Structure 1
Amino acid sequence: MSKSALIVWGGWDGHTPEQSAQLVSGMLESHGFAVTLENTTEAFADDGLSQFDLIVPVITMSRIEREELTNLLAAVRGGTGLAGFHGLMCDSFRNEPDYQFMTGGQWVAHPGNIIDYTVNVTRGDDPIMAGIGDFPYRSEQYYMHFDPSVEVLATTTFSGEQFEEIDGVVMPVVWKRRFGKGRVFYSSLGHVVGEFEVPQMRTIFERGALWAAR
């Protein structure tokens, strides 16, 4: 029996949500998933939400109704996996701390906007990161408020070029966690769909999504 995934896209167009959702859909289908694509948070209110093995939000700076969020939280607590990237999962609903508690973090800044930085793999022994070493990356370097209970798989270190007070700050880039019976995976890489052309970025998200799925 094939696994099922729900991808819900929307919000700010600058993050290429529709294109990124289509790419992730194809990625999951290549692993045998039956994928449902929706472009409204109303999908989170569906009675059958908990039947999905994986949910991938691809939404930025949007809003979610209380009924939708309550249903989403219950689905993940019950065992549905959650996987996402960049602001398309961890800057989806700024007004919803319950959502941020589930995802494990929330974007707050990207000093310098698009810059060159390094991703440092901290858990090379984890299957999601296997065979991947430190690598250079060009994108927004996400500064996040994050839950200290998350299991960090990769980090980045900020310079003081933009704000001297964050010089040397080590920030998680990739993490995973449990939320009830559900698995949650996050990578801060993936500002636009073109970043999936970076092999390490794509591999990390692909493995993370497969890990998160029920």
Structure 2
Amino acid sequence: MREALIVWGGWSGHEPEPCANIVRSMLEEDGFKVYVENSTEAFADPSVRDLSLVVPIITMSKIEKEELSNLSEAVRNGVGLAGFHGGMGDSFREAVDYQFMVGGQFVSHPGGVIDYHVDITKPDDPIMEGIERFPFHSEQYYMHVDPSNEVLATTTFTGEHAYWVDGVTMPVAWKRKHGEGRVFYSALGHVASEFEVPQMRTIVQRGMNWAAR
């Protein structure tokens, strides 16, 4: 049986505990044995290296050196890493090695919660199969991203809320390798209710399964 660890915490505005409960049920539906913790201390446990998947749901927090070292080593040796929105893309602003592993870091969301569209760039990828361009109501993430990411979906800024990014096309979802480990990220998922959008939920669920070894 595949085993997954969810670690939640950080800024409460992202509803980390409700999101962790949703993700837990999704993974259990797919046959995972799931462990849930609410402290980054869980990343330092040597048993992390034996897992199939780690899902961080932590925003604007801090991670200790030994915690990050153990997590990074586990991913480099094949443990999957997957997550969404600020829970993975804005977890530890001071930890550049973590951002290196994720493949990106949140910078801004001009206009706050707005209406925008998500465009599918890899419709033949199993994660995106059957999903077409769709509207979304949430924060439109502007991120610093690794050019080696395999981008699955994008969004284009209009410049309405920040004129200097008018026309910028920004990755929304990507996958990548970090050593032997698979890494998946989606910028969608500001609050738990966004999992009610079928496309968002499907992308995250498939992405987690793809990342898990």
- What TM-score do the two structures reach when normalised by structure 2? 1.00
The residue number in structure 1 matching 2:100 is 101
Letter in 2 for 1:36: Y
2:52 is the counterpart of 1:53: yes
Is 1:8 aligned to residue 25 of structure 2? no
User: Offset at 1:164?
Assistant: 1.2
d(CA) in 2 for partners of 1:57, 1:160: 31
1:60-209 matches, cutoff 5 A: 60-209=59-208
Q: Distance in 1 between matches of 2:163 and 2:185?
A: 27
Q: Distance in 2 between matches of 1:203 and 1:162?
A: 29
Residue by residue, what CA displacement relative to the aligned partner does 1:48-91 show, whole Å, maximum 9, x if unpaired? 11011000000000000000000000000000000000000010
Secondary structure at the residue paired with 1:70?
Answer: helix
Where do 5+ consecutive residues of structure 1 fail to align? Answer: none
Share of identical aligned residues, percent? 66
The code of the aligned residue for 1:5 comes to: A
Letter in 2 for 1:65: E
AA at the equivalent of 2:12: D
Cα deviation, 1:10-54, whole Å, max 9, x if unaligned, reads: 000000000000100010001110000000000000011101100
Give structure 1 regions of 4+ aligned residues with deviation exceeding 4 angstroms.
none
Structure 1 residue matching 2:99: 3-state secondary structure: helix
Q: In 1, Cα distance between the equivalents of 2:37 and 2:19?
A: 13
Distance 1:161 1:194 in 2: 26
Deviations 1:90-142 (A, max 9, x none): 10000010000000000000000000000000100100000000000000000
- Quote the Cα distance in structure 2 between the aligned partners of 1:163 and 1:190: 22
TM-score (norm 1): 0.99
Specify the SS of the correspondent of 1:48: helix
Distance 1:163 1:15 in 2: 23
Residue 127 of structure 2: SS of its match in structure 1?
helix
Determine the structure 1 residue equivalent to 2:30. Answer: 31
**What letter matches 1:102 in structure 2?**
M
Q: What is the alpha-carbon distance in structure 1 between the residues aligned to residue 145 and residue 77 of structure 2? A: 23
Report SS of the residue matched to 1:136: strand
**1:111 alignment partner AA:** P
Question: Which deviations, in whole Å up to 9, do the C-alpha atoms of 1:138-189 show, x marking residues without a partner?
Answer: 0000000000000000000001111211000000000000000000000000
> How many aligned positions are there?
213
SS at match of 2:46: coil
- 2:74 aligns to what SS in structure 1? helix
